[in-house]
Amino acid sequence: MRILSGIQPSGALHLGNYFGMMRPAIELQEQGEAFYFIANYHSMTSLYDAAERRKNTLDVALDFLACGLDPQKSVFWRQSDVPEVTELAWMLSTLTPMGLLERCHSYKDKVAKGISPNHGLFAYPVLMAADILIFDSNVVPVGRDQKQHVEVTRDIAIKFNEQYGPTFVVPEPRIRDDVAAVPGIDGQKMSKSYGNTIEIFGEEKATRKRIMGIVMDSRTPQEPKPDADKNLAIQLLKVIRPALGAEYEEKLRAGGLGYGDLKKKLFETYWEYFAPARARRAELAANLDHVHGVLRAGAARARELATTVLQRAKLASGLE
């Protein structure tokens, strides 16, 4: 089984990225051949600062490795080091109906937010399909917001196979229900673009302040809270430590637990959960040659496979 996923270097990674995508991806490296990459081409649709892209790319590499991506088990590279994906993206785009892309929520949401759409943003799912199909991927671990993009990939693969004969593996999304949509500190989906994140490797003081600043209602600590499951701090605590979260949910429901104490518990739990990864990240940051070496070796392996599959698609479609 080949597992593949990507993450954009468009900002600091957060708990939604970690629990929705990175941790499931890291767990899956035990179950098959894992291929993970930093989607820097994709980040060009929303980030226009070169220095920032370069910095974010290194940060994503450090974050992912610190969190447990093991280069002995997984292939890990930077998307643009395998430029064959852009060639395949062109081929796929000729079989992608406009309507399929026009229906994509993520595109529509961005336009609704006032981003003036460019062709890259519109064609984003086609490049994503190329990322997935060029590695014969079977399983794609992602958060719920990316499900539709994997479905578009399936549609494109099926269409190509019908048109030119069996060429691509049709992949499946893998979405962990319990963490499919981690809420941000304002209650919306946690997302870099909503400014509501808790960063995985946030600075201690600033993160404590963010968590303590989560807005709650004005009920007294003594009051029982029958809606304890709707409480944001409880929801986040359950994402990080499910058993502890359930215990605190009961305490909150029964009455007697103040919101300040609850948020303090959330901060401490978060801080302690990522302590080992924080230490690993500091070691990696002091050894950047190693990190660059991992990405280079990953790119070489990924490129070898991508070249083979691209050749298959070229033969099938009469380019060769």
Binding site for ligand ADP (CB under 6 A): 7-8, 10, 16-17, 20-21, 142-143, 145-146, 179-182, 189-193
Quote the least distance from Cβ 124 to ligand ADP, whole Å: 11
Which residues of the chain form contacts with ligand TRP (CB under 6 A)? 4-8, 39, 42, 128, 131-132, 140, 142, 146, 149
Name the active-site residue from 55, 73, 110, 205.
110
Residue 192 binding target from ligand ADP, ligand TRP, none, CB below 5 to 8 Å by type: ligand ADP
80/193 with CB nearer ligand ADP? 193
Name the active-site residue from 189, 225, 238, 265.
189
Q: What separation in angstroms does the CA of 19 have from each of 39, 67, 151?
A: 19, 11, 22
Strand-by-strand arrangement of the 172-174 sheet: 74-78, 33-38, 2-7, 139-141, 172-174
3-state secondary structure of 33: strand
132/234 with CB nearer ligand TRP? 132
Counting every residue written for the chain, the total comes to 320
20/125 with CB nearer ligand ADP? 20
- Distance, in Å, from the CA atom of 51 to the CA atom of 269, rounded to the nearest integer, reads 34
Largest Cα span, the chain: 74
Quote the least distance from Cβ 104 to ligand ADP, whole Å: 13
What count of other Cβ atoms lies within 10 Å of the Cβ of residue 31? 10
Helix and strand numbers, DSSP H then E, in the chain = 15, 5
Residue 195: which region, alpha, beta or left (left: phi > 0; alpha: psi -120 to 50)? left
Residue 167 binding target from ligand ADP, ligand TRP, none, CB below 5 to 8 Å by type: none
Quote the least distance from Cβ 4 to ligand TRP, whole Å: 6
Task: Specify whether 189 is catalytic.
Answer: yes
Q: What separation in angstroms does the CA of 316 have from each of 130, 155, 170, 209, 309?
A: 16, 18, 16, 57, 11
The answer to whether the CB of 83 falls within 8 A of the CB of 306 is no
Residue 132 binding target from ligand TRP, ligand ADP, none, CB below 5 to 8 Å by type: ligand TRP
39/239 with CB nearer ligand TRP? 39
Quote the least distance from Cβ 5 to ligand TRP, whole Å: 4
- Distance, in Å, from the CA atom of 117 to the CA atom of 110, rounded to the nearest integer, reads 8
- Distance, in Å, from the CA atom of 242 to the CA atom of 65, rounded to the nearest integer, reads 24
Name the active-site residue from 108, 113, 147, 192.
192
Residue 128 binding target from ligand ADP, ligand TRP, none, CB below 5 to 8 Å by type: ligand TRP
193/317 with CB nearer ligand ADP? 193
Task: Specify whether 110 is catalytic.
Answer: yes
Quote the least distance from Cβ 103 to ligand TRP, whole Å: 16
Q: Which residues are catalytic?
A: 110, 189, 192
